[in-house]
Amino acid sequence: MFHLFDDVYLDLDAAFTSLKYDSIAISNRWANIDFFDPTFKTIKTYTSFEQFVSSALNGRRQDFWAHIFAKKLPNTRLVIYVDPELYVTLQVEYWKGIFKNPTPESLYKLHKLHIQDCWFKAFLYDENAHAQGRAAYRSLEIMPEHTFTNLYASTPINPFLQGLSKSHVSFEYQLSNYLHDQQSPLAATVLDKIKTFTWTNWVQELEVLKADLINAGVDINKVLPDQHQIDISSPDALYTSISQNDFVNWIVDPNIHYSNPSYVENSYDKEIFKHLYTQFYTVWSPEGKGVVAEDMTQLIDMIYNHQYAELLQRDIDRGFGCVYGAGRYRLRMNQSFLSWVYSVKRSGDTSELAAFELA
């Protein structure tokens, strides 16, 4: 998916294989299937972009972006499915509208990075369960530069996109803007998103820790403090023992979920998790041999102290990808672009990022 703004996305028509989201399909591939599905997701189809403009926009092509921005309903995702040619055309129009000083060269770089990102994502089977969707991503081609330049030249700047608050656009562009100029008007937006990503990622990390503790079974005492050891004499009573133990009863707390990260912060002492990670690495790496892990104690302290700018810099300094574009967010961002943005920031000269300053 190509993230446009908020919960509005663009995708290839061949990827339209489920009724998971509110959808607009602009393609003759999916003609004549207008209906409400059993989960009450709205599905609208148009055989061509011209038909969509005529029917939905009263012939006003320039209103496309304002229309889909306003059409998105609260707490749902809207996906617009189009054929590959229209997909690139709309991307160029989108990029040309949201950036302050776009050039054919800067947008061609974005185009190439995006196509490459799609090729990689075609191999994320868990997220792309349908073969035709994966095949569509793999079959995308990088447009010849002269063709792209001609498309750029013929694409007008859309006033709605240019005037739109850039707090609505995808995170990778906001982050690039911020890393070029940390006094950017979008600084607060970026740090607030990093807060969201940090806490949802943390809860997901706790899911991994939870699974490791469950897998430990009767070995769980190896990572517990002396005062919190549990009775393992009856393995069939392990669930009850864990449920009644103040140090690990969070494992069976049904309220822990990435959609409500503040619950974890408010309900459980961070020292619990710091101890568990330290002990896990000790068990896995006896006498300092074997597993070498990052300092989770420092990371947990930074998370709970809400040091989001410092967490961002820490992630950049790690020198290995962008954690904020990984995990459950990986299909919403251009990870190839993010990794390049990070590399530019590490170089100490962010002048290349000026080309992606938001309007």
* Ranges 116-130, 187-201, 270-284, most confident: 187-201
Query: Is pLDDT above 90 for 273?
Result: yes
The whole-angstrom separation of Cα 138 and Cα 146 is: 22
Query: Is pLDDT above 70 for 167?
Result: yes
The confidence score (pLDDT) of residue 74 equals: 65
The whole-angstrom separation of Cα 221 and Cα 175 is: 43
Token pair 């700018």 is found at 309
Considering only residues 309 and 281, tell me which one the structure prediction assigns the higher pLDDT: 309
CA atoms within 13 A on the CB side of 296: 19
The whole-angstrom separation of Cα 62 and Cα 57 is: 9
The confidence score (pLDDT) of residue 286 equals: 60
Query: Is pLDDT above 90 for 288?
Result: no
Query: Is pLDDT above 70 for 30?
Result: no
Query: Is pLDDT above 70 for 32?
Result: no
Query: Is pLDDT above 70 for 147?
Result: yes
Q: Tell me the average pLDDT across 301-306.
A: 95
Q: Tell me the average pLDDT across 80-106.
A: 95
Query: Is pLDDT above 90 for 282?
Result: no
At 215-265, the pLDDT tens digits run 888 888 899 999 999 888 887 888 898 999 999 999 999 999 888 889 999
For residue 229, which of 241, 217, 213 has the smallest C-alpha distance?
241
The whole-angstrom separation of Cα 221 and Cα 31 is: 60
Query: Is pLDDT above 70 for 28?
Result: yes
Query: Given pLDDT bands bounded at 50, 70 and 90, which one contains residue 24?
Result: confident
Query: Given pLDDT bands bounded at 50, 70 and 90, which one contains residue 281?
Result: confident
Q: Are 331 and 127 in contact (CB under 8 A)?
A: yes
The rounded mean pLDDT for the chain is: 87
Query: Given pLDDT bands bounded at 50, 70 and 90, which one contains residue 292?
Result: low
Query: Is pLDDT above 60 for 21?
Result: yes
Query: Is pLDDT above 70 for 287?
Result: no
Considering only residues 102 and 236, tell me which one the structure prediction assigns the higher pLDDT: 102
Q: Are 280 and 212 in contact (CB under 8 A)?
A: yes
3-state secondary structure of 82: strand
The confidence score (pLDDT) of residue 220 equals: 87
Mean pLDDT is lowest, of 49-63, 193-207, 220-234, 337-351, for 220-234
Biggest CA-to-CA distance, the chain: 76
The confidence score (pLDDT) of residue 39 equals: 47
Token pair 């061609």 is found at 108
Query: Is pLDDT above 80 for 35?
Result: no
Query: Is pLDDT above 80 for 17?
Result: no
Q: Tell me the average pLDDT across 333-352.
A: 92
In the chain, what percentage of residues exceed pLDDT 70? Answer: 89
The confidence score (pLDDT) of residue 40 equals: 47
The confidence score (pLDDT) of residue 36 equals: 45
Query: Is pLDDT above 80 for 196?
Result: yes
Token pair recorded at residue 70: 């306003």
